[in-house]
Amino acid sequence: MGFDVKDKERSSGKPGSQVFLDLLKEAPQAIVAHDARGKIIVWSRGAERMLGYREDEIVGKNFSKLLPKGIKMTGETVAQVLSGEVDAFESQLVSQDGRLIDVFTMVSPLKDE
């Protein structure tokens, strides 16, 4: 599905970036975004269904909360993502009830212009 963000911006009165953020949050896929320090800033309904956390419970927390014990998001990992060296991988995340969930992760670094 595609649409002109400017049309949505005009009809909703919201800036285009807010319209885009609202769309991400409603996505049926698990979409999680975090900042460079690992703080979760976007949590979609799909992520809520998959992992059990509501948006208000997880946004602002560190992404490492979702990683299995002994697994850390290192500076090296972040550097590989930012350089484009790594764009997809298989891993596991921990759900709110403690289950390990197998996931295929695709990463897309967003950089300020």
Count: domains in the chain: 1
- For 24, other C-beta atoms within 10 Å of its C-beta total 16
Q: For residue 78, is it within any domain?
A: yes
CATH of the domain at 41: 3.30.450.20
Does a structural domain hold residue 113? Answer: no
- How high is the pLDDT of residue 6? 53
- Residue 13: predicted pLDDT: 57
- pLDDT by residue for the chain (113 residues), tens only, comes to 444 545 544 455 555 677 777 888 888 899 998 888 889 999 999 999 999 999 999 999 999 999 999 887 766 777 777 788 888 888 899 999 999 999 998 888 776 65
- Structural domain for 43, as ranges: 5-106
Residue 42 lies in a domain: yes
What is d(CA 111, CA 10) in angstroms, rounded to the nearest whole number? 26
